[in-house]
């Protein structure tokens, strides 16, 4: 079983090389979390949907890991993945589902 809190190597390498950018990124993330009334699980589902819509593989995987860490079930994550299919298209949805499954199977 993979530890879902493990940070991907590429992200670690980037933050080692650019610690100031990493810190700024974390500060913005915290400010965004505090900007409104959504709870952690709802924010995680929204972020998964945004990443699917943008077609961002590493971001989908990251948000799925974060979603699992905040208590989302595989079913909740998969539902978030497929909700936008009529908007973003079948191929993008299936690709995102495949990326998420890679994370889910390791959890």
Q: Which residues contact 6 (CB under 8 A, 6 or more apart)?
A: none
Fold for the domain defined by 38-107:
AhpD-like (1.20.1290)
pLDDT of residue 98: 97
Average pLDDT, consecutive stretches of 10 residues, N- to C-terminus, the chain (107 residues): 63 95 96 97 97 96 96 97 96 97 91
**What tokens appear for 62 in the block?**
């990251």
State how far Cα 47 lies from the chain centre.
6
pLDDT at 1: 36
Nearest to 78 by CA among 88, 90, 64: 64
What per-residue confidence (pLDDT) applies to 5? Answer: 54
Distances (CA, A) of 89 to 28, 54, 61, 80, 92: 30, 11, 19, 14, 6
The predicted structure's pLDDT at residue 8: 79
Please report the pLDDT score of residue 106 as a whole number: 86
Question: In this structure, are residues 38 and 73 in contact, taking their beta carbons and an 8 Å threshold?
Answer: no
Q: How far apart are CA 14 and CA 76, in angstroms?
A: 31
Residue 107's pLDDT is: 79
């Amino acid at each position: 079983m993979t530890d879902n809190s493990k940070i991907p190597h590429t992200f670690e390498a980037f933050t080692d090389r650019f610690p100031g950018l990493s810190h700024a990124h974390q500060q913005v993330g915290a400010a965004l979390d505090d900007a409104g009334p959504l709870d952690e699980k709802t924010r995680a589902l929204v972020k998964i949907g945004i990443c699917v819509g943008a077609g961002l593989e590493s971001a989908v995987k990251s948000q799925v890991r974060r979603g699992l860490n905040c208590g989302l079930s595989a079913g909740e994550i998969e539902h978030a993945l497929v909700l936008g299919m009529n908007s973003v298209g079948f191929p993008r949805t299936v690709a995102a589902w495949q990326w998420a499954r890679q994370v889910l199977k390791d959890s």
